[in-house]
Each structure stands twice: as structure tokens, then as C-alpha cells.
Amino acid sequence: MGVTQVQIEACGSEHEDYLHDESRSTGFAESISFPQSEDEVRAILRELHERRIPVTVQGARTGLAAGAVPHGGHVLNLSRMNRVLGLAHDDAGTFSVRVQPGVVLSELRKYLSAKRFPLNGWDESSKAAAQALAEAPEQMFPTDPTESTACLGGMAACNASGARSYRYGPMRPHVQALRMVLADGDVLALRRGAVSACGRKLALTTEGGRRIVADLPTYTMPHAKNASGYYIEDDMDAIDLVIGSDGTLGVITELELALMPAPAVIWAASCFFTDEQAALDATVSVRAGLSHVAALEYFDPAALDILRRAKASGTAFASLPDLPAEHDGALCCLYVELHCADEDQAMADLGLLAEILGKTGGDAQRAWVARTAVDREALTFFRHAVPESVNMLIDERRRTDASITKLGSDMSVPNERLHDVVALYRATLAKEGLQAAAWGHIGDNHLHVNVLPRSHDEFLRGKRLFERWAHEVTAMGGAVSAEHGVGKLKRDFLAIMYGDEHLREMARVKGAFDPYGQLGRGNLFPEELLAATEEASTGAGPDAAADFAAGTSGAAGFERPGCEGVSA
Amino acid sequence: MMHIVVCVKAVPGSTEVRMDPVTHTIIRDGGAAVVNPFDATALEVALRIKDARANMGRPTRVSTLSMGIPATESLLRDCIARGADDALLLSDRAFAGADTLATSYALSCGMHALCDGTAPDLVLCGKMAVDGDTAQIGPELAGLLDMACATDVRSVEVPSPGGVVVRRATDQGIERVELPLPAVLTIAKDAVQPRMPSIAGVFAARDAEVRVLGAHGVGADSARIGLAGSPTQVVRSFVPEREAAGEDVLGDVAAQAARVRELMGGACA
């Protein structure tokens, strides 16, 4: 086996695109690489590890929390690791697909809908599974972030969600196995169900034989949609720690994703309401009453108004469906997507929805129902046009004041606090006199409230307001980031949500995987905390993290049946 | 009451059209059929006329008419969900293999059945169908029904009993045309944005009756329908097939360069 050539280039002006992502913040880096295989990633990381150079992992750079924006050091861009590696078909009839991290979601969808994959380099078993898939009912990968050009590695790194997570959950449960290269070039292979923590102790062995033992943080995660910091639970599966870790523990080089049969019938209804409270009441009723809801989304009056103006401006949005006028009773909109086994099921849920509309002030005569592919595409266009139009509005404002950027929230609360959190948003926005548009995943009590600053002063006040919301959402038992991940932009909110001690616990877990704090520098943790953890995990001091990293932990008291693997 | 009939065709939902190797006609198994997008726009134009006239206190009946396999019934039901009042499907093996002349003849027979022997005030068709691309049905229907005709219509003013004013695209620009009623209009695809059904519309359509009639039912002359009534002879038709598969050039840089050189016949010096 030959030595893998490492292609590390100095960052030049031609690499400018790789210094930012969809969060629209810009960073800096000294070098960049575009590996195509796990071996290349290992060789690159080994070389960088010797010099302790920070590494920022990038995929398609569609993230909204600046997780892929470099803070110096090296950019490890995985967009060329974009091969589908194979397919499996188990005895229960479930298909799973093995991908490199740079495979883009829309590509995977294209392969699944055509039932045809590029088979180059596939083994016989994968080819047989591809044949079985061609003959099986259509399969889907359910995670559905709005941005379908996101890559699957990035989606796993931030535990992406999207509209359909209401029914199918976030990325996490669909990841069956993964391979991850650690900062020193060693590899960790994790399969769901294979390695679990014992209580809050986790022990893992790398392919190179290194033992990683970590005390997991002691916090309890909120009972709400959550992508804030490390996923931690008693006796948790080790793979779940990596999913949503924002590129801070290792570089995902391979994912095995479970597929599921696509629903036979997908119908969607956009229901218009004369006031926001009515839409919130309908949300609660839909959650309780309908059995086949896959997505439950909301668009507030400002969001609809922005859409109306975008359509009228005759731009790319001219082909949007004609929205009913505000004075005609269409102030805000609830989008309900049904995934059903047959049309009878869909009709039953649609009937219940009509009843709910009747009771809550909606109008079954005015609701749009998309049952055909053309209509579904029109509604998808409608939903996706909202953030696009808001971005265009902000771009326009930036021409007069470059310091303005969009401020988008990503917070969630438990079901019973939906009305409270919306009341909080409305009262504080009104008090501050800030312009905002809100939309998103109301079924999960997870709205993206976007402050639209008209000046630098409004931008600063918007930022302060988000900080206040972070405190109040935490007090409601919610999460400061429900789906975008924490990255660099929501780092301060993570400290608000979990507190400094829990943040230190998280940093110590990172230290066990990445003792020199090289990976995802700036994500989740402030610099000073990482520096302190680095000192503890690599210095000679009597710190537990050093023992864990060296695999010499003598921590006792967890060697009970089923926990043998944890003792070092 | 003004009566508008919208002609609707079921077309394949995907761009991968399958042809019958013997008859050289499109295989229509109804699997993923959709309403021809031009016809969907024509229906929307009809529904907007109906809404506008309703605001003036004048009633309008919008019917949809199609010729196709029995599965086309679900597409007509969808038209009712969007606001059409009723629908008639012409479905009979005797209609199969029809060219545009035989199709427009069958539709003209259906038109008489829909209107109890009289003629509608306005017939709206899509400018063309996305599968056949002929744009002939509308003008042929106008000929058969002896009606005025305007093609490629971009906008329609609310018709009065005296006539209808339309604007149509020509190579020279937009032409304003006044037509007497009854008339046939073929509608451009981007004329208006088709609406979606309402929840109430979906339930109304579920309970609505879609009439289905065969060749005898509409009193069609068997010599003028189906293959027998079609003077068009398709000699050959085919979907171009990609013959060569692509190749991923894999390996390290040197191996990839060597393979590319080989593929180029060693031509690069």
C-alpha cells in the first residue's frame, strides 16, 4: 500500500468562498485541503496534528450557525468525498445506504427517486441490494432540512432537522453507523447498538487501539427539539454523542443511513387564519387530533407580507401561488403535511382538519390542498421562498449599512409553552420596536423568529433581545438551538442554557477525543475554556481528563453487569 | 347562464415517455398522469371568469371534458375540486389511437352531450399539450363546432353575451381581438397561476359524479374516431436512448491522468 499523498494548499484568493457559509459570517484560514478518501483525511490530520494546527471541517457550507467558518488554521473541505459507497438490505426488508460525508441530500434523493445509483466500485452485495431496491416500493431518507443542497456529513454533524422532523425526528435516529477520523488521524468506527455508556461513563477503543474514556456531562437535556451541545443521556449509545457534535470530536468520513418506504400518499394543506392566536390554537388541536401529520409549519403575518411583496416585484418569485389578501382573512398561515398509507387515511385527516379550522377561526373554503406533484412543488416553493425573500431584503439593507445581518432564532420550547413563547416574542419585539418575521416548525414549538434590522442600532438591540430570549426559553425548559446546531454564532446561548460548569464538562469530553482542541475551533466552546481544557488534558497536572485521554482512568464504581466495557 | 367548457388532457407526469413499438403511440397507463399544464391554466381562466361574473350576480357553469382511459376520471375529479361544476369523460377502446382530427371530432361529440345538443358559450383549451405539442385541438374544435377562435391567448376580459375580448401573443407583439360568442380560445401556459383545491373542494369532488360515456353514448360516427378516423400515419417514433455510460475516473492523480490520457486515445502530448 502506497503512502497517501497529502494535498494541503495555502489559502489564496481563489479560496475566498471557503471562508464563509450560509450564516453569512466570514472567517480566515492559512491552508485548505479537499480530500477524496478517508485515507487522505487521515494523512492530512496526522500532518496537522504534529503541528497542533486548528482544523475546521466543511461540507456544503449551508449551515446557519457558522460551524464551517474557519477561525484560523486549516480548512478540511469534504465536498469531494461525495460518493455513495454501497447499499444494504437486511432480513426485515430495511434498506440502508453508505455514503461519504460530502454526498448532497438532493443527490441522494435523486438516486432514490430514480431507484438508480452509480455502482462504480460497489461490492456484489451492494449491487444485489441495488437490484432489490429497484424492485421495492420507493424508499426515502426522511430528514428534510429546507436546504436540500446540504451534505449528509454536515447534517449529521449538526443533527439537522427540518419540517418533516415533526414525524420522523431529526437526523440522529436515522444514522445507523459512522466512521470518524480523530484529530491524531486515528479512526473510530461506531455502530448503533454496539457501544453504550454506562450511566454517564463512556469508554471507546479506536481502530488504532487507543482507549478513550470520558465522564459524560451531568446535565439533563430539555424535553424539546434540541441541537444544543452534546447529546447526553444515561446509558446512551456512543454514536449519539458524535451526531450533533458540530465537528468538535472528529471528522465524519462515512455514514450508514437507514432508509424507509416513501408514503403512498402525501397531501399538504395551507390553511389561512385571521389572527395568530387562532393559528396557535389550531396547532394544538392538530397535534392532538390528526394521526398522520409529517410537518406542521407556520408563517406569520410579516412573513406572508414579505412573500406578497416578493411576488409583486416580479422577480424569481413571480410564479408563487397567489396569496389571498390580508384584508380577505389571510393574515397568517399554517401548513399541514400528511403522510398516509392511502387516500382514505388522508381524507379522514383532512376532514378532521376542516373541523379544527371551523372551531378555531380558519376557513376550509380558503385552504389550499396540494395532492398532485405540481401543487406540492408550488407549496414547497412557497415555503422555501420565505427565507429566500428575507435574505434578499437583508441584502438590500446591507447596501446602505454593511454592519446589518439577519438575526434568525432557532429556539424551541416544550409543547405546553407554545402560547407563552409566542407571547414573549410578540411583547418584546413590540417593546423594542423591531421589525421581524417568524416562520417554521410550530408543531415542535420551534419558530425561526428573524429580526430584520433597519440600522446598526436595531441590529445590536436584536442581538440583545435574542440573549434575553435564550434566558427565558431556557427557563421554559426549551433549547437555544433546536436544529441549526450551536456552531460559533450561538455559543454564548449554549452557556446560558447549560451554565459554565456543564460547558466545562462538555469541554472535557472534547478533550478526551481531541486533547489539543484542534477540531472545530470556535464551535460550542469559547477559546479560553478550550485552552484551559487543553492544558488539563495534555499537561502533567493531576486532571481526570488527562487520565481518560491516556486510558488510565481508575474511576471506580461503575463496574456493574453490563458495564464491563467502561472500566479502563 | 353562461356555459364554459374546458378541454383537459391527461399527460405523462414525467419526461420519460414510453412509446408503443407497434402503434407508435404514447403508452398511457395512467400511472403518473397529470393534467396537461396548459389545460390547468385554461381551467383557471374559466374559474376566474366564473368568479368575476359571480361578483356581478351572473351565474356561470364551468364543465371539464376529456377523452382518455378510465383512470383519467381522477384528474377530472381534481378539476371539480378546484372549482369546476361538472365533468364528462369520453372513454372507450374505440377512441384509442386517435390523432388530433379524430380527437377533436370525439370532443365535439362530447361537447354536444354536455350541452344537451346545444353549444357552449365558450370553449377553453390549453394552447397545446406537453406530450404531443401539436396545438391543433383548439382550432380543429372551432372548425368542427363552427365557432370563432383565438390561439395563444394571454388574457381574457370577462365575456358578455355579445362577445369576448382577448389578448394574444403574436410575433409582432400583443394583439387585442374581439370575438363573438360562441368561441374557442387556446390559452398560453403563463396566462395565470392555477389555483389549488380547497379542503371543501376536495370533499365536494369526492361526492361529485363524473359522467363517463363511450362512442355510442355520444353518438360518434365510428369511421371518424380512433385509429380508423385518423388520417395521420406515424411512420416511426422513438425516445432517444443514451448508449454510453459515463465512467468515474478513480485512483490517485497519476492513475487518473493516465486513464484520461487513455480515454483520449493518448492524444495529449
pLDDT in tens, A297-342: 999 999 999 999 888 887 778 888 888 877 676 789 999 999 999 9
Give the pLDDT band of residue B131 (cuts 50, 70, 90).
confident
Segment B38-59, tens digit of pLDDT: 999 999 999 999 999 999 999 9
Q: Is residue A65 part of a domain?
A: yes
Q: Is residue A495 part of a domain?
A: no
Give the CATH number of the domain where residue A335 resides.
3.30.70.2190
Question: In this structure, are residues A444 and A225 in contact, taking their beta carbons and an 8 Å threshold?
Answer: yes
Chain B residue numbers with beta carbons less than 8 Å from the beta carbon of A270 are 196
CB pairs under 8 A between A and B: 66
Average pLDDT over every residue of B227-250: 80
Cell of residue B262, nine digits = 487513455
Tell me if chain A has a CB within 8 Å of the CB of B251. no
Residue of A nearest to B189 (CA): A319
With CB atoms and an 8 Å threshold, state whether B196 touches A120: no
Q: What does the pLDDT read at residue A549?
A: 40
Chain B residue numbers with beta carbons less than 8 Å from the beta carbon of A375 are 196
Percent of chain A with pLDDT over 90: 76
Do A68 and A90 lie in a common domain?
Answer: no
For the cut 50, the answer to whether the pLDDT of residue A229 exceeds it is yes
Do A252 and A276 lie in a common domain?
Answer: no
Q: What does the pLDDT read at residue A559?
A: 36
Residue B147 Cα, gap to closest chain A Cα (Å)? 33
Which of A351, A367, A375 has the CB atom closest to B198's CB atom? A367
Cell 465512467, located at residue: B247
Closest to A390 in 3D by CA, of A327, A331, A304: A304
Chain A residues 378-397 with CB within 8 Å of chain B: 378-379
Residue B246 Cα, gap to closest chain A Cα (Å)? 10
Segment A458-469, tens digit of pLDDT: 999 999 999 999
With CB atoms and an 8 Å threshold, state whether B34 touches A372: yes
Tell me if chain A has a CB within 8 Å of the CB of B152. no
Cell of residue A321, nine digits = 401561488
Instruction: Please count the other Cβ atoms lying within 10 Å of the Cβ belonging to residue A416.
Output: 12
Q: Give backbone dihedrals phi and psi of A438, rounded to 5 degrees, phi first.
A: -125, 140
Question: Which of A1-5, A151-155, A441-445 has the least mean pLDDT?
Answer: A1-5
Cell of residue A386, nine digits = 420565505
Do A128 and A249 lie in a common domain?
Answer: yes
Q: What does the pLDDT read at residue A511?
A: 95
For the cut 80, the answer to whether the pLDDT of residue B30 exceeds it is no
Q: Is residue A492 part of a domain?
A: no
Element (H, E) at A504: helix A491-513
Give the residue, A427 or B254, on which the prediction is more confident: A427
Pairwise CA distance, residues A477 & B36, whole Å: 51
Give the pLDDT band of residue B71 (cuts 50, 70, 90).
very high
Cell of residue A76, nine digits = 478540511
Q: What does the pLDDT read at residue B72?
A: 95
Mean pLDDT (chain A) is: 90
Tell me if chain A has a CB within 8 Å of the CB of B30. no
Residue of A nearest to B206 (CA): A347
Which of A322, A347, A369 has the CB atom closest to B198's CB atom? A369
Question: In this structure, are residues A36 and A121 in contact, taking their beta carbons and an 8 Å threshold?
Answer: no
Which of A118, A321, A351 has the CB atom closest to B196's CB atom? A321
Do A354 and A376 lie in a common domain?
Answer: yes
Which of B193, B198, B250 has the CB atom closest to A365's CB atom? B198
Q: Is residue A491 part of a domain?
A: no
Average pLDDT over every residue of A528-533: 82
For the cut 70, the answer to whether the pLDDT of residue A548 exceeds it is no
Segment B177-216, tens digit of pLDDT: 999 999 999 999 888 999 999 999 999 999 999 999 999 9
Residue A355 Cα, gap to closest chain B Cα (Å)? 11
Mutate to test the interface with B, among A369, A381, A382, A383 (most CBs of B within 10 A): A369
Q: Is residue A314 part of a domain?
A: yes
Do A120 and A242 lie in a common domain?
Answer: yes
Cell 427517486, located at residue: A113
Question: Which of A340-344, A559-563, B144-148 has the least mean pLDDT?
Answer: A559-563
Residue B256 Cα, gap to closest chain A Cα (Å)? 13
Question: Which residues, other chains included, contact A375 with Cβ-Cβ below 8 Å and sequence gap of 6+?
Answer: A268, A368, A369, B196
- CA B26 to chain CA centroid, Å, is 15
Instruction: Please count the other Cβ atoms lying within 10 Å of the Cβ belonging to residue B260.
Output: 11
Q: What does the pLDDT read at residue A513?
A: 97
Residue B58 Cα, gap to closest chain A Cα (Å)? 21
Question: Which of A267-281, B26-40, B206-220 has the least mean pLDDT?
Answer: B26-40
Which of A120, A270, A350 has the CB atom closest to B202's CB atom? A350
Instruction: Please count the other Cβ atoms lying within 10 Å of the Cβ belonging to residue A545.
Output: 26
In one letter, which amino acid is A512? A
Question: In this structure, are residues A237 and A195 in contact, taking their beta carbons and an 8 Å threshold?
Answer: yes
Give the pLDDT band of residue A361 (cuts 50, 70, 90).
confident
Average pLDDT over every residue of A461-479: 97
Give the pLDDT band of residue A567 (cuts 50, 70, 90).
very low
Chain B residue numbers with beta carbons less than 8 Å from the beta carbon of A379 are 196
Do A122 and A270 lie in a common domain?
Answer: no
Chain B residue numbers with beta carbons less than 8 Å from the beta carbon of A2 are 252
Number of domains chain A is built from: 5
**3 state SS of A255:** strand
Paired strand residues for B148? B183
Do A253 and A373 lie in a common domain?
Answer: no
Give the pLDDT band of residue A3 (cuts 50, 70, 90).
low
Residue A321 Cα, gap to closest chain B Cα (Å)? 6
Tell me if chain B has a CB within 8 Å of the CB of A375. yes
Give the CATH number of the domain where residue B195 resides.
3.40.50.620
Q: Is residue B11 part of a domain?
A: yes
Number of domains chain B is built from: 1
Chain B residue numbers with beta carbons less than 8 Å from the beta carbon of A322 are 193, 195
Q: Is residue A542 part of a domain?
A: yes
Residue B74 Cα, gap to closest chain A Cα (Å)? 11
For the cut 80, the answer to whether the pLDDT of residue A551 exceeds it is no
Percent of chain B with pLDDT over 90: 70
Pairwise CA distance, residues B112 & A224, whole Å: 62
Q: Is residue B234 part of a domain?
A: no
Chain B residue numbers with beta carbons less than 8 Å from the beta carbon of A5 are 252-253
Tell me if chain B has a CB within 8 Å of the CB of A374. yes
Tell me if chain A has a CB within 8 Å of the CB of B198. yes
Q: Is residue A206 part of a domain?
A: yes
Average pLDDT over every residue of A250-257: 98
Whether residue B182 has a cis bond before it, omega within 30° of 0:
yes
With CB atoms and an 8 Å threshold, state whether A371 touches B202: yes
Chain B residue numbers with beta carbons less than 8 Å from the beta carbon of A378 are 196
Segment A53-63, tens digit of pLDDT: 999 999 999 99
* DSSP codes joined into one string, A295-334: EEEEE-HHHHHHHHHHHHTTSGGGGS--PPPGGGT-SEEE
Residues B117-129, buried b or exposed e (16+ Cβ, 10 A)? eebbbbbbbbbbb
With CB atoms and an 8 Å threshold, state whether A365 touches B78: no
Average pLDDT over every residue of A69-83: 96
Q: What does the pLDDT read at residue A285?
A: 97
Segment A86-123, tens digit of pLDDT: 999 998 999 999 999 999 999 999 999 999 999 988 99
Chain B residue numbers with beta carbons less than 8 Å from the beta carbon of A271 are 199
Q: What does the pLDDT read at residue B268?
A: 58
Do A373 and A394 lie in a common domain?
Answer: yes
With CB atoms and an 8 Å threshold, state whether B34 touches A374: yes
Q: Is residue B175 part of a domain?
A: yes
Q: What does the pLDDT read at residue A403?
A: 84
Q: What does the pLDDT read at residue A23?
A: 85
Q: Is residue A351 part of a domain?
A: yes
Residue of A nearest to B75 (CA): A372
Do A433 and A481 lie in a common domain?
Answer: yes
Residue A352 burial class via C-beta count within 10 angstroms: exposed 0-12, middle 13-18, buried 19 and up: middle
Average pLDDT over every residue of A427-448: 97
Which of B196, B248, B252 has the CB atom closest to A5's CB atom? B252
Give the pLDDT band of residue B17 (cuts 50, 70, 90).
low
Pairwise CA distance, residues A563 & A94, whole Å: 30
Question: Which of A171-180, B30-39, B184-193 has the least mean pLDDT?
Answer: B30-39
Chain B residues 75-104 with CB within 8 Å of chain A: 78, 81
For the cut 80, the answer to whether the pLDDT of residue A264 exceeds it is yes
Q: Is residue B269 part of a domain?
A: no
With CB atoms and an 8 Å threshold, state whether A120 touches B250: yes
Q: What does the pLDDT read at residue B244?
A: 74
Q: What does the pLDDT read at residue A317?
A: 83
Give the pLDDT band of residue B269 (cuts 50, 70, 90).
low
For the cut 70, the answer to whether the pLDDT of residue A566 exceeds it is no
**3 state SS of A198:** strand
Q: Is residue B262 part of a domain?
A: no
For the cut 90, the answer to whether the pLDDT of residue A209 exceeds it is yes
Question: Domain limits at A434?
Answer: 401-485
Give the pLDDT band of residue B162 (cuts 50, 70, 90).
confident
For the cut 80, the answer to whether the pLDDT of residue B27 exceeds it is no
Tell me if chain A has a CB within 8 Å of the CB of B16. no
Residue of A nearest to B190 (CA): A319
For the cut 50, the answer to whether the pLDDT of residue A296 exceeds it is yes
Which of A269, A322, A357 has the CB atom closest to B193's CB atom? A322
Question: Domain limits at B143?
Answer: 2-224
Q: Is residue B60 part of a domain?
A: yes
- Which of these three, A368, A384, A399, is where a domain ends? A399
Question: Which of A118-127, A437-446, B74-83, B233-242 has the least mean pLDDT?
Answer: B233-242
Paired strand residues for A273? A332, A362
Cell 384584508, located at residue: A327
Residue of A nearest to B37 (CA): A374
Q: Is residue B238 part of a domain?
A: no
The complex's ipTM?
0.81
For the cut 50, the answer to whether the pLDDT of residue A544 exceeds it is no
Residue A237 DSSP label: B
In one letter, which amino acid is A58? Q
Q: Give backbone dihedrals phi and psi of B213, rounded to 5 degrees, phi first.
A: -125, 145
Chain B residues 37-76 with CB within 8 Å of chain A: 37, 40
Do A199 and A283 lie in a common domain?
Answer: no
Do A431 and A505 lie in a common domain?
Answer: no
Q: What does the pLDDT read at residue A550?
A: 38
Number of alpha carbons in the 13 Å side-chain half-sphere of residue B225: 23
Chain A residue numbers with beta carbons less than 8 Å from the beta carbon of B250 are 120-121
For the cut 70, the answer to whether the pLDDT of residue B29 exceeds it is no
Do A393 and A542 lie in a common domain?
Answer: no
Mutate to test the interface with A, among B192, B199, B247, B252 (most CBs of A within 10 A): B199
With CB atoms and an 8 Å threshold, state whether A120 touches B247: yes
Closest to B226 in 3D by CA, of B109, B114, B120, B147: B109
Question: Which of A17-31, A234-248, A456-470 has the least mean pLDDT?
Answer: A17-31
